[in-house]
Amino acid sequence: MKLIASLTSPYVRKVRIVMAEKKLDYQMQIENVWAADTVMQEFNPLGKVPCLITEDDNRLFDSRVIAEYVDTLSPVSQLIPKTGRDRAAAKCWEALADGTLDAAITIVKEQQRPAAQQSQEWIDRQYGKIHAAIKAMEEDLGTKSFCMGVNFSLADVAVGCVLGYLDFRFPHIDWRAESPNLARLFTKLSQRQSFIDTEPPKQ
């Protein structure tokens, strides 16, 4: 398998952590989707990472699709419950985490535009989503060991990638101050080898 990736994308990091937890081997090809000479659309018509090229040369894109597929490839570390309410709950955690990342990346890209073209109202709206999502995650996690209870799952991978991305791109957001449950979880996740090995490069 080959993963078309960026070292700073939190969506790519989610897939890389899942593959590490599943003990799967793959090649990684780095692609800058924002470069003028990017060839990303040859892999994904939407021009986004990650994209997984399977052994039979199929292209899978969107981190949620890839994570779900990869979880079926090995019995090691089942990350997504098979059926029922637990499966829906894990996928809901992932959707909330990905939505938070969508808002964060929207801010990053908006602030890269010329100052006269930026919309502070739009930026503030995205910050509102981030703070609301962090509050919801904090309350839903509560005193549980992991997002889904006692077992590490895709929910924890997704949430860990959000918190890591906030530290990476938004160090001014002191999410730990009002989210002790998330802070506790993130400290524990950060000690896992899969998280250590996928930390984004220092700016």
Residues written for the chain? 203
Cα gap 112→147, rounded to integer Å: 34
Does the pTM surpass 0.95? The reply is yes
Q: Which fold has domain 2-70?
A: Glutaredoxin (3.40.30)
Q: If we measure between CA atoms, which residue out of 197, 194, 95 comes closest to residue 152? A: 194
Cα gap 20→98, rounded to integer Å: 20
How many C-beta neighbours within 10 Å does residue 151 have? 16
Determine the Cα angle at 110 with ends 106 and 111, to 5°.
Answer: 120
Same-fold call for 2-70 versus 84-196: no
Architecture of the domain made up of 84-196: Up-down Bundle (1.20)
| Beta carbons within 8 Å of 74's beta carbon, 6+ residues apart | 22, 23, 24
The domain segmentation of the chain, as residue ranges, is 2-70, 84-196
User: What's the pLDDT tens digit per position in 21-75?
Assistant: 999 999 999 999 999 999 999 999 999 999 999 999 999 999 999 999 999 999 9
User: What's the pLDDT tens digit per position in 50-61?
Assistant: 999 999 999 999
